[in-house]
Chain A
Amino acid sequence: MLSTGLVAAAALSYLLLLFAIAYYGDWQRDQGKSVIANPYIYALSLAAYCTAWTFYGSVGKAATSGVTFLTIYLGPTIIAFSWWFGLRKLLRICKENNLTTMSDFLALRYGKGAFLGALATLGMLLAITPYIGLQLKSISDTFNILVCKEVCPPGTIPVYHDTAFYVALILAWFGILFGARHLDPTERHEGLVAVVVFESIIELVAFLGVGILVTFGLFSGWGEIFARLKQSPAFHQLLLVNTGQHNSYALLLVFTVLAMGAIHFLPRMFHMAVVENTDEKHILTAIWLFPLYLLLINLFVMPIAFGGLLLGFPQNQADTFVLRLPLSTGHPYLALLVFLGGLSASTAMVSVASITVSTMLLNSLVIPLAIRLRLQEWITPHLLTIKRGCILLLIMLGYFGYHLVFPTVMLVDIGLIAFCGVIQLAPAMIGALYWRQATRWGALAGLLSGFCLWAYTLVLPYLVEAGWFSLSILTAGPFGLAFLKPTAFLGLTGLHKLTHAFFWSLLFNVGTFVSVSLLTVPSRVEEEQARRFVEVFEREREVPLEKRYAHFPSLDQLTQFLEKLIGPQKAGEARRDFLREVVIPESEWGDRERLRLAEFVERTLARSIGPAAARVLKEGYLSAMGTRMEDVFDLFGRISSSLEESEQQLKRRVAELSVLYEAARRLASSLYFPEILDGVLGVLEEKLGVEKSAVRLLDEDGFLHIKGFRGLGPSTQGQAFEPDPESFLGQCLSTSQVISVADTATAPDRLQGLIEAEAMGSLVLAPIITETMTLGVLTAASSQKGYFTKEHVEFFQSLAEQLGLAVRSVNMEEALRLDESRLEAVWQLSQMTKATTKEITDFALEEGVRLTKSRIGYLAFTNEDETVLTMQAWSRTTMQECLIADKPLVYPLETTGLWGEAVRQRRPIITNDYAAPSPYKKGYPEGHAEIRRHMNIPVFDGDHIVAVAGVGNKEDDYDDSDVRQLTLLMNGMWWQLKRKRAEEALSAERKLLIHTCMDGILAHDMSGTILIFNETAAKILGYNPDEVIGKMNIDELYAPGQAREIAAKIRAPAFGGAGILLNYETRIRHQDGTFIPIWLSAQVLREDDRETGIMGHFRDLRERKRMEEELLRSERLAVLGKMAAHISHEIKNPLMLIGGFARQVLKDSATQVPKNVEKLKVIVDEVKRLEDFLVEVGGYAKFSEPQKQPEDLNLLVRETCARLEPSLRESNIELALDLAPDLPEIPFDPAHIRQVVLNIAKNALEAMESGGKLTITSGRQKDRVFVQIGDTGSGIPPENLEKIFQPFFSSKPKGSGLGLAISQKIIEAHQGEITIDSEPDKGTQVTIFLKAGP
């Protein structure tokens, strides 16, 4: 008996030791060293297979069923024979695809749909959870045995008192610490592996320790134990098998098969064997070392079990014999070691299993679901947390599962449930590795049916026993349907529960998997994956591409894409890895590298998020980028379709395909046709053993020329003949069909054109064709009769088609290259906007010489009437070759020789044999460059010839294509020249316009830099344009803030529209700092909806202002003059009267007194009139501001009327007053207003000399008060109405013309208004309005 403290301390310090080891392992890995890169470590890491179930359960099983338990360890030994090809294949595939779990493996193999992976994950979860619970249970049970000798039955103590609960928490922590400290795309946990290995050693040591104690301490050896057991009637049959259902042969078989599956497909085993493997070769050691480990650990199982039984321990405690035996025989520290060994087994299993299953959950459930729900952006940063959560969840599920669901089940049974669950993966996994026809639907159907039947026939019965379902399901079947009884499905009885479940689940699993696979057709992706998986070892040599990507994104774009998903650091690493892997730089990548990159991106993503999600994301991204897959070349599409052929045929076919591929490669690599031909025929000989072959091509005249051959003798070259339609060659050309002749001797009359060596046995003729025409014939001959088979025919047809393609593409390439070259030259010409004419013509000429492959060249312009040619340029080579120093530049057309013919005949002239006599040729002077061939062309502008371009001394003959090239190029040049001239003219005009414009013009860009500043602007502002353009900012030309105001106004719609400013009056700064008033009109300049600047023109307003002022002054002077004239006139008349009368009075002063009195009266009257007049003039000139005070306007009107009374009566005029009674008092100057009313009334009276009616109305209109004075007099003619308020205007002979002018001045001074309405002969109404308020 040990104290709780001691045991707990031992357990905890042991766990701490494990942490230390794990840290050491991880630390070493970070240092670049690997502690686990060792075959022995790998072999021992597989011991994760031995869990608490082995450690305790084996003894339990041995004590109840005897030898049977050994099968669990014999299975792995047997299957180890397959590891070198089976496990290694699995490993290779997983390594190549970065697969880290089985669900990923299945998802990738079966077309990457998410559902299959999810299904596998769910099945695993169901199978593994109780298994984890089992480990927790064993730890807590053994702990309790160690400290209190008894196991507390679960469910009787609360969770927080349960040791297992704390064990679960610690293990979850352990798992998180070593499995999910960070997200590692390789999912490799070296520290964890180191721990597992350490634990497996402790396990073995502890077990062997107990074994030796029991066998040799408590008994005297194996012999005694077995001998005594044989004597014991109760137990002796434990030494045999097939004594009952619990150890039947069938069960043995089932156990063996289950163990064979479990060693691969338990998630933790898959992880240890596949994911944590560092080198395939380690398998070779594991193959024997792991079975040896299993043998050793089982060596003492039976002695311990039987020893325990013989010592009288109850059989139902057999699970804990290992612990109880040393404890009860006084070896507590050995018991402690055993406890630690068991702890090792459990922790290893729980941590590895929880980590791997959580990875499965993450990759196959969480991420695909997140992508489906479009949450991937949201979920990506939390992946690690989710993974940790999964680990915790799994272990807690295990804990509560065991606590609630399986408390009654024996250890060993839980293990077998898990084994039977994971075996369901076997058909799909093995199919993935070896069966190409296996389809996704097959795998889905198999897995689904397998898992369902497993759950129904095996898990359900245990749940029923645990009391979760009614017991009647077991005894009577669900809903009373007896044939559906879980333990006797379809009435099958007599089998052990496990055998029964194993049989049914695997039967349905395999049955549906195979049959559905056969009934469904795999998708292209599946087919491709199947090929990649099944033929993983054969793929080492390159196969031809079937697919290529079109519009593939660049490496940078893909890196960005990766960065978004896995972070910049990992994306950068992946990028470097890939570049290291492909070696070739990105600029030289072909289709193969792109495919590899696409796969690489997918694999890199798969490491973080699983293959299903990775594929969805990658494809989504690529299709968003416009990338698509397309067939490489139709030929290779046939590979997959013809796989039913025999091996022999296949081999030949592969050879043929490699020829085609090689041929295609050569076609692609060279453009030189003879080289291509030679290469293709060489490959034909080398790969297929075709000794004699030839290619003949048709020329324009229908002659066949041999262009390439093999094995036909040297004399063959250069033969040409016209094929006879009856001959084989002729027939092949005319029908475009492949002809196979088994024996040439049967048709000797049809061998025209064939070489003797070809007509000595069998022969194949294949037409070299393009879509539209037949180009020639490919022949292959053998001296053996009947050598060529039907398949050969097909093959030669393909090869000839490729050759056709090559011929066409060689021709097209050449034409294309020339065209491209010319286009490039023309494009360059078009870019020469700044070049001089000379530069343009020189360039065009050099390009013309180059394009026509000539040596020399020239270019001459014609004059208006095409009579004189002026040499514009000679090519550089001409200048070097021609020795004439002073070449004339001007040539009258009449005197020109051959080169003038192009103008005279108005067409291109080709002279391929210059030496031959010609009527046009006039020879050239000595020293002139020698001419062998010559060609020149006229350059037209409309009907007019503008230039002549000529080239000469090409190596071959000139032909139409040269004419075409040169003509097109020269036309391009002429167009460019014309454009240049037009542009120059336009630009000159524009410059002139800008510079001679009367307005100042300036433009600036968005930053304010002035770009245009014309002469006028410079003159107005006193600058020199050079010191402004590009140097000054517009802000410097305006007063501070003014530029911004203008910029704002120009965009506001109120000043001429948005973006426009019209005649805006502002000021601009002169160089001397003064501001000059201007009218500015401006507009925002735009380019593609983007503001690029502002252009404006302005007019100097100084002159205008000056003129305005002058005008104003002269107007004033005019008024003054008029006034003076009027005044002098007004004064002169009375003065003349006064003077005249005064002189008469003086003369007759004594004689005619009465007369004198009369005259003096007149004088006095006139003086009075003068005084009155001067008062009025003074009143107008010396107008004083009104002294306003609130008064009653009506009262004022009445007073005024009273004054008028005498005059009214005198003139017989009726007065009508209509004054509003409620008129408010308003502020006005009574003296002034009285004068106004009086003036108006007087005018009215004067207008009504023969009587009438004077109406005075007062009233209120809105916020104004008015007085209207109307008469019925003669009225005012309309032409006088506008002048009526002008001073000194009067329609009356005696008026001063100031009355109404003064009235208006007064009313305006009151902020009022005076209006006048008049109709001749009807009367006049004058209205004065005054403001009612203050």
Chain B
Amino acid sequence: MTKLGKFWALLGILGFLLLNYPLLEIFNRDILLAGIPFLVLYIFVIWLLAIIGLYALSRRLTVRK
């Protein structure tokens, strides 16, 4: 596996960890942030970050090709 490939895998594992117990427990709080529940906001932010990460990585590969 190439270095970049390993980095992808690492990011994937990180995403998996961030969205599961126990890390999720940190954000599983009954509070609203900017009118939105903390947990929901957290999940969507992680989600968006993951998409941005995926986009960046794929751009790197596309450019390299």
> Which residues of A approach B to under 8 Å, CB–CB?
67, 70-71, 74, 77-82, 84-85, 221-224, 226-227, 230, 236, 239-242, 249-250, 252-253, 256, 281, 284-285, 287-288, 291-292, 295, 302
Partner of A252, one of B24, B48, B50: B24
Asked whether A240 lies within 8 Å of B9 as measured between CB atoms, the reply is no
Residues on B lying within 8 angstroms of A by beta carbon are: 1, 5, 8-9, 11-12, 15-16, 19-21, 24-25, 28-30, 32, 34-37, 39-40, 43-44, 47-48, 50-55, 57-58, 61-62, 65
Given contacts A227-B32, A253-B21, contact A67 B40 (CB under 8 A): yes
The one of B5, B24, B54 in contact with A249, judged by C-beta atoms closer than 8 angstroms, is: B24
**Chain A residues within an 8 Å CB radius of B55:** 287-288
Could you list 16 A-B pairs, sorted by A, with CB under 8 Å? A67-B43, A77-B47, A78-B12, A78-B15, A78-B16, A78-B19, A80-B50, A81-B57, A85-B5, A227-B35, A253-B20, A281-B65, A284-B62, A287-B55, A291-B51, A291-B54
A residues within 8 A CB of B62? 281, 284
Chain A residue contacts of B36, Cβ below 8 A: 222-223, 226
Complex-state Cα separation, A285 to B57, whole angstroms: 10
Using CB atoms, name the residue of chain A closest to B50. Answer: A77
A295–B44 touching, CB < 8 Å: yes
CB distance from B21 to the nearest CB of A (A): 4
Contact B1 A77 (CB under 8 A): no
A77 touches B11 (CB 8 A): no
Q: Name the A residues within 8 Å of B39 (CB-CB).
A: 67, 239-241
Look across to chain A and name the residue whose beta carbon is closest to the beta carbon of B1: A85
Partner of A74, one of B29, B30, B35, B43: B43
Q: Which chain B positions have C-beta within 8 A of A291? A: 47, 50-51, 54
B30:A240 contact, CB within 8 angstroms: yes
Contact B30–A77 (Cβ < 8 Å): no
Task: Say how far B35's CB is from chain A's closest CB, in angstroms.
Answer: 3
- Do the beta carbons of A81 and B37 come within 8 Å of each other? no
Taking a contact as CB atoms under 8 Å apart, the answer to whether A288 and B40 are in contact is no
Contact B8 A85 (CB under 8 A): yes
Q: Which 10 A-B pairs have the closest CB atoms?
A: A223-B35, A81-B12, A249-B21, A288-B55, A288-B54, A284-B58, A239-B37, A78-B15, A287-B58, A287-B54
Q: Do B57 and A287 touch (CB < 8 A)? A: yes
A82 touching B32 by the CB < 8 A rule?
A: no
B30 cross-chain contacts in A, Cβ below 8 A: 230, 236, 239-240
A240→B43 CA distance, assembly (Å): 12
The DSSP consensus for interface residues of chain B is helix
Chain A positions within 8 Å of B54 at CB level: 77, 80-81, 287-288, 291
With a cutoff of 8 Å between Cβ atoms, the chain A residues found around residue B29 in the complex are 240
The contact of A79 among B12, B25, B37, by CB within 8 Å, is: B12
CB distance from A76 to the nearest CB of B (A): 11
When distances are taken between beta carbons in the complex, the residues of chain A under 8 Å from B19 are 71, 74, 78, 252, 256
| Chain B residues with CB below 8 A from A221, complex form | 35
- Does the CB pair A295–B21 fall under 8 Å? no
* A84 in contact with B8 (CB, 8 Å): yes
Assembly CA distance A299 to B51 (angstroms): 14
B48 A240 Cβ-Cβ under 8 A = no
Give bound CA distance, A241 to B20, whole Å.
11
Q: Is B21 in contact with A252, judged by CB distance below 8 angstroms?
A: yes
Contact between chains at A241 and B24 (CB < 8 Å): yes
Chain A residue nearest to B5 in the complex (CB): A85
Q: Which residues of B contact A240 (CB under 8 A)?
A: 28-30, 39
**By the criterion CB–CB under 8 Å, are A292 and B21 in contact?**
no
Write out the residue numbers on chain B whose beta carbons fall within 8 Å of the beta carbon of A253.
20-21
What are the residues of chain A within 8 A of B53 when measuring CB–CB?
Answer: 81
Kindly state the separation between the CA atoms of A239 and B49 in the bound complex, as whole angstroms. 21
Residues of B within 8 A of A250 (CB): 21
Number of A-B contacts (CB under 8 A): 114
CA–CA, A284 and B55, complex, Å: 8
Closest chain-B Cβ to A47's Cβ sits at a distance in Å of 15
**Pairwise interchain contact A295-B48, C-beta atoms closer than 8 A:** yes
CB proximity of B45 to chain A, nearest CB, Å: 11
Closest to A237 in B: B30
- CA gap between A299 and B1 in the complex, in Å: 35
A242 and B22 alpha carbons, distance in the complex (Å): 11
Q: How far is the CA of A284 from the CA of B35 in the complex (A)?
A: 35
Please determine whether B47 and A288 come into contact, CB atoms closer than 8 angstroms. no
Q: Shortest distance in angstroms between B19's beta carbon and chain A's nearest beta carbon?
A: 5
Q: A236 — which chain B residues lie within 8 A by C-beta?
A: 30
- Evaluate whether A77 and B58 lie within 8 angstroms (CB atoms) in the complex, with A241-B28, A291-B50 already known: no
Residues of A within 8 A of B61 (CB): 84, 284
Q: How far is the CB of B63 from chain A (nearest CB, A)?
A: 10
Docked pose: A1024 CA to B9 CA in angstroms: 101
Chain B residues near A80 (CB-CB < 8 A): 12, 50, 54
B15 to chain A, nearest CB (A): 5
Give the most central of A71, A84, A252, A281: most B CB within 10 Å. A84
Using Cβ atoms and an 8 Å threshold, which residues of chain A touch B5? Answer: 84-85
Collect the chain B residues with CB atoms within 8 Å of residue A242's CB.
21, 25, 28
Please state if B35 and A81 are interface contacts (CB–CB under 8 Å): no
Q: Is the CB of B32 within 8 A of A81?
A: no
Q: How far, in whole Å, are A295 and B54 apart by their CA atoms in the complex?
A: 14
**In the assembled complex, which residues on chain A have CB atoms less than 8 Å from the CB atom of B52?**
288
On chain B, the residues within 8 Å of A284 by CB distance are: 58, 61-62
CB distance from B29 to the nearest CB of A (A): 8
* A230 with B32: CB separation less than 8 A: yes
Give the chain B neighbours of A292 by CB distance below 8 A: 51
Residue pair B20, A226 in contact (C-beta under 8 Å): no
Q: A288 vs B50: C-alpha distance in the bound complex, in angstroms?
A: 9
Complex Cα distance A776/B30, Å? 88
CA distance A81 to B25 in the complex (A): 24
Beta-carbon nearest neighbor of A250 in chain B = B21
Inter-chain CA distance A492–B20, complex, in Å, is: 23
With a cutoff of 8 Å between Cβ atoms, the chain A residues found around residue B20 in the complex are 249, 252-253, 256
Q: Shortest Cβ distance from A1020 into chain B, in angstroms?
A: 96
A242, B29: Cα distance in complex, Å: 11
Question: Do residues A295 and B35 form an inter-chain contact, with CB atoms below 8 A?
Answer: no
Contact A82 B8 (CB under 8 A): yes
How many angstroms between the C-alpha atoms of A85 and B21 in the bound complex? 27
Chain B residues with CB below 8 A from A287, complex form? 54-55, 57-58
Chain B residues closer than 8 Å to A223, beta-carbon distance? 34-36
Given known contacts A71-B19, A226-B35, what 13 new A-B pairs fall within 8 Å (CB)?
A67-B43, A78-B12, A78-B50, A81-B53, A81-B57, A82-B12, A84-B57, A240-B30, A249-B24, A287-B57, A288-B51, A291-B47, A295-B47
- Cα separation A77 to B34 with both chains bound (whole Å): 25
- Complex CA gap A288/B1 in Å reads 21
> A288-B58, A291-B50 given as contacts; is B40 within 8 A of A81 (CB)?
no
Q: How far is it, in angstroms, between the C-alpha of A230 and the C-alpha of B35 when the chains are bound?
A: 10
Q: How far is the CB of A426 from chain B (nearest CB, A)?
A: 15
A residues less than 8 Å from B1 (CB atoms)? 85
Residues in B whose Cβ lies below 8 Å from that of A224: 35
Taking CB atoms, residues of chain B closer than 8 Å to A256 are: 16, 19-20
- Inter-chain contacts of A302 with B (CB < 8 A): 40
Considering the chains assembled together, what is the distance between the CA atoms of A226 and B43 in angstroms? Answer: 15
Q: How far is the CB of B2 from chain A (nearest CB, A)?
A: 8
Contacts of B21 in A (CB 8 A): 242, 249-250, 252-253
In the bound assembly, the distance between CA atoms of A224 and B32 in angstroms comes to 11
Q: Are A226 and B32 in contact (CB under 8 A)?
A: yes
Give the nearest-CB partner of B61 in chain A: A284
- Distance between Cα atoms of A302 and B8 in the complex (Å): 30
> Which among B1, B5, B58 has the greatest number of chain A C-beta atoms within 10 A?
B58
| Closest chain B CB from A879 CB (angstroms) | 72
Q: Roughly how many angstroms separate A81 CA and B56 CA in the complex, as a whole number?
A: 11
- State the CA gap A300–B56 with chains docked (Å): 26
* Chain A residues, CB < 8 A from B24: 241, 249, 252
A250 to B25, CA, bound (A): 12
Give the complex CA separation of A285 and B62 in angstroms.
Answer: 9
CA–CA, A77 and B48, complex, Å? 10
Interface centre among B1, B12, B54, by most chain A C-beta atoms within 10 angstroms, is: B54
The CA of A81 and the CA of B53, in the complex, are separated in Å by 9
Q: Give the distance in Å from the alpha carbon of A224 to the alpha carbon of B25 in the complex.
A: 25
